[in-house]
Structure 1
């Protein structure tokens, strides 16, 4: 994705942020599920892997590379305090990470919208 002249690395970042948001939402939804293990992935590692794997590829190849990179950077969260039912979700931690990721997602999306607007302005000749 690093060679994409329009979106650069931000397209891959947006895909990964979306995947992470879904993962964190799943952790929150399963906060009361016995033996559920909270999962997350290292965003920086996944982004580096995805950009290396899909440089110059098609949109589908970049999306597939982002998914594979998220899977390779995936891990289980180690709780600060263990639960009696084996659940490793700490609701406050998950909610904080979800909120942080949502802000970062919105920031990336805003940046991409600015890029698209710039291209649209150039195409209109304004």
Structure 2
């Protein structure tokens, strides 16, 4: 029933939260030798969530534009930009869901 009320937005919020964790891990490991940056392909993960597959299906290794000598593939500017964009998208999805919940609450109260 929740999916009918919220559409794909509930799954989208969950994927955005997971992506935020992955990107934060990349940023935290920017100077860790051999660390391989990863990201979640949002569209792939969302499609996988609709098919009841694991969100990990959308988890991919990032290909660096300039690989470092120590094998670390984190490019800090790329990660920070992706994190900021994802945070805005997360907040937008959350705002939509909050509005939908308020709408449902008003309907249940008969307002």
- How would you bin the TM-score normalised by the shorter chain? over 0.9
Note the residue ranges of structure 1 that are not aligned, 5 or more in a row.
54-64
TM-score by length of 1: 0.83
1:14 aligns with 2:20: no
Question: Normalising to structure 2: TM-score of the pair?
Answer: 0.94
CA distance in 2, matches of 1:4, 1:81: 42
Deviates more, 1:75-84 or 1:107-116: 75-84
Match of 1:111 in 2: 96
Distance in 1, Cα, partners of 2:11 & 2:67: 35
Q: Distance in 2 between matches of 1:75 and 1:20?
A: 11
Aligned to 1:58: none
Tell me if 1:95 matches 2:95: no
Tell me the distance in 2 between the aligned counterparts of 1:78 and 1:9.
29
SS of match in other structure, 2:86 = helix
- Report runs of 4+ in structure 1 exceeding 4 Å deviation: none
Query: How many residues are aligned here?
Result: 111
